[in-house]
Amino acid sequence: MSDPTKRADEVDSDVAARVRDSFARQGLMAHLGAELAELSSGRVVIRLPYRDELTQQDGFFHAGASSAIADSAGGYAGLTVFPAGSSVLTVEYKINLVAPARGEHLEAVGSVIRSGRTLTVCQLEVFAVAGSERTLVAVGQQTLFCLPAKS
């Protein structure tokens, strides 16, 4: 019987723990200073605070930083809908940079478009946030591979 108090997009505690544990093991996300900001079924937000070390020569966030958090946000969005015990690998992703990334932090939003048994497709968006202003700075699409649970 389903829990009537649970929202449709809410993940159960086992899924949330699996995603948070996996994110904590990501050396690149730790190195960049990224944090898992939001987690729901088929959707993850990763936040990256501004630091000089994350910029390119003109002071904008570097495209590599934007792309890295977009890839991880999509991957973890996919993991929220994968079977227990499985893990995720990115097969491919494409990012279009649509505006300079300047702000107090970046927010990458990964959303599952379609999840299959083996391949899952996600939408990726990255926003630069300055005060109450959010500017879309990158959009993309990603294909993920669901690695089956180890026996």
d(CA 103, CA 39): 23
Which class is 13-147 in CATH? Answer: alpha beta
Q: What is the largest CA-CA distance in the chain?
A: 56
pTM of the complete model: 0.92
Helices 63-79/13-24 angle, 10° precision? 150
Residue-level pLDDT, tens digit, the chain, 151 residues: 445 555 667 889 999 999 999 999 999 999 999 999 999 999 999 999 999 999 999 999 999 999 999 999 999 999 999 999 999 999 999 999 999 999 999 999 999 999 999 999 999 999 999 999 999 999 999 999 999 877 5
The domain ranges of the chain are 13-147
Q: Evaluate the CA torsion angle 47, 113, 28, 60 in order and state its sign.
A: negative
Rounded distance between C-alpha atoms, residue 54 and residue 34, angstroms: 11
